[in-house]
Amino acid sequence: MNRKNGLRDVGTFLFFAGPSLVAFFLVVLIPFLFGLYLTFTNWSVQAGSGKFVGLSNYIKVFHDNAYWTQLWFTLRYVFYTVILANVGGFFLGLVLSGKIRGQSFIRGGFFIPNLIGGLVLGYLWQILFSRVLPYLGNLYGWELFQSSWLTQTDRAFWALVIVNAWQLMGYLMVIYIAGFTSIPTDVLEAADIDGAGGFAKIARIMLPLSIRAIVVCLFISISRSFLTYDLNLALTNGGPFGSTEMATYYIVQKAFLSNDYGVGQAEAIVLFVIVATITLTQSITLKKMEVEA
């Protein structure tokens, strides 16, 4: 009887989880392991073959100054994007978790940018930065927008940050709303009775009790920001003068345009390790705060 129940449980598990497991192995795990193998070869995309070269690709990575320059640029980009996206998503969630008219419509409006592909979003904002804003800037005398941000190295960086943060904000808003609605109402009512102000209530009650939502939002925003490629390609194409090339953009250029696939794949693995280390560190740190709270 127990054996039959066990087989039935296995069959039920395979029926529901089997397709997802197969997709995970075919789309994620096998390509990752094959990519890891390629880092130890001088694989040529054109020839479709390569010889084993040991750790030489990783040695080249650590001597590639251009890669580390782009990685530093990416770290700055991720830092500011994560802050803007999470602060904006937090306060949007805070406002839209209350009772306001047209709440669902407004939530949907902020969430829609997350449904737009990075290429489409990049081209739309490229028109905005290159034509619409300069036109309005010259028309109304707004010095900040009188020339295209995408032609200036410092402002092109902020253009990337703003667009990605704007896209992420609506998605993070939904997670923060879920976190706020899970806070017991009696705790908030007790705070109101005690005369806690709006800022005190946010800092001492809502933030500590929303740590789970914050952990998830930071994890998503960090990982997605590090892996930005299509937006980088469509909005700036690495310009001006290569000043906005992020690590993922540089890796693709190295692997496919320079036909140096082994080194490019090794750079991707190094980036993966850095992203995994940062995301796991922040998750573990905030989880400890959740336990203490």
pLDDT digits (tens, 9 = 90+) for 156-174: 999 999 999 999 999 999 9
Contact between 166 and 113 (Cβ < 8 Å): yes
Higher pLDDT, 174 or 207: 174
Question: What mean pLDDT comes out for the span 142-150?
Answer: 89
SS3 content of the chain, % helix, strand, coil (to 5): 80, 0, 20
| Residue ranges of domains in the chain | 56-292
Distance in angstroms (rounded) separating the CA atoms of residues 29 and 22: 10
Is the CB of residue 151 less than 8 Å from the CB of residue 209? no
CB atoms within 10 A of CB 126: 18
Handedness of CA 141, 142, 143, 149 (dihedral sign): negative
CATH of 56-292, one of 1.50.10.20, 1.20.120.1200, 1.10.3720.10, 3.30.530.20: 1.10.3720.10
User: For the chain, what percent of residues have pLDDT higher than 90?
Assistant: 32
| Mean pLDDT of the 249-263 span | 85
CB atoms within 10 A of CB 252: 15
Helix 65-96 and helix 103-111, axial crossing angle in degrees, nearest 10: 170
61-110 tens-digit pLDDT: 999 899 999 999 999 999 999 999 999 999 998 888 877 777 788 888 88
Q: What is the pLDDT of residue 5?
A: 62
269-289 average pLDDT score: 86
Other CB atoms within 10 A of residue 139 CB? 10
Q: Which residue matches tokens 């309005």? A: 136
pLDDT of residue 293: 47
Is the pTM value of this prediction over 0.75?
Answer: yes
pLDDT, tens digit, for every residue of 14-49?
777 778 888 888 888 888 888 888 889 887 766 666
Q: Per residue in 19-45, is it b (16+ CB within 10 Å) or e — as a string?
A: eeeeeeeeeeeeeeeebeebbbbbbee
